[in-house]
Structure 1
Amino acid sequence: MGIASVSADTAAVIGQLEEWGPRIGADSGAPLMSGRVLYQGQGVEVGIWRCTPGGWAIADRPDTESVLILEGRARITDESGLMVELTAGSALVLPAGWSGRWDILDTVVKHYVTIAH
């Protein structure tokens, strides 16, 4: 038996996100998250995530995350102070051990893949 692939209509998934509640650790705004996990297994998680405006720090992330911004606008700042603004079409990878800050400027929707280490 082979391994089944996972596919989804992104627009349909965005229309069916589940409420995940407030972003724990937010120090600005009152960001609310929603999302949907599309795949989870063997240390990998793939999904769609939405977050309303707000900001928070991240210290020593435990996993690697690959992100493609689908909607909205955010700013990430690493611990050295390097700041990057993300908009629809922006892609980035945050490796395990990364520290910095997320600031959601306009509600963001992202496709993400996390890989546990």
Structure 2
Amino acid sequence: MSVVVAGISVPDPLGISLTAVGPKPNTLEGNPIESVHEIYTEDALQVGVWEITPGSFTTVKDGISELMHFISGSGTIVGNDGTTTVIAPGVVLITPDGWSGTWHISETARKVYAIVPTR
């Protein structure tokens, strides 16, 4: 398994395979397919690896907060408040409960995430 970093295929640093979970709901453009590998779950905490292929879609964080650390890919995430985050390896983003916005993925993106319920 490998990931693409800055257009170069390199060995997957986690050495795992992800499972496709299907087309992304709320798609605006393209056909983004998401895949996931859950690493750890305890009580309500979820930690894993998530990947999305190119396309655009909306998302809302309702009842959860999420910490994301991107390890590959490119694109932008635009919050409904106008804040724009450029996706690139090493970028960290926190989306608090109530956050909403639009993802524009230009190169398959992979992130490590931690999701915590807020209610």
TM-score (normalised: structure 2): 0.83
Paired residues, number = 107
Q: Does 1:31 align with 2:62?
A: no
Q: Does 1:20 align with 2:21?
A: yes
What amino acid does structure 1 have at the position aligned with 2:45? V
In 2: Cα distance, 1:46 partner to 1:60 partner: 16
> What's the secondary structure of 1:12's corresponding residue?
coil
Higher helix share: 1
Classify 1:39/1:10 alpha carbon distance in 2 versus 1 (closer, same or farther; 3 Å): farther
Determine what percentage of the aligned residue pairs are the same residue: 28
Match of 2:115 in 1: 114
Written as runs of structure 1 = structure 2, the 5 A alignment for 1:21-100 is 21-100=22-101
Q: Which moved more, 1:28-37 or 1:60-69?
A: 60-69
Structure number, greater radius of gyration: 1
Match of 1:3 in 2: none
Aligned CA-pair RMSD: 1.5
The CA deviation at 1:44 is: 0.7
> What's the secondary structure of 2:27's corresponding residue?
coil
Q: Which moved more, 1:76-85 or 1:107-116?
A: 76-85
Q: Does 1:11 align with 2:14?
A: yes
Q: In structure 1, list runs of 5 or more residues that go unmatched.
A: 1-8
TM-score (normalised: structure 1): 0.84
Q: In structure 2, list runs of 5 or more residues that go unmatched.
A: 1-11
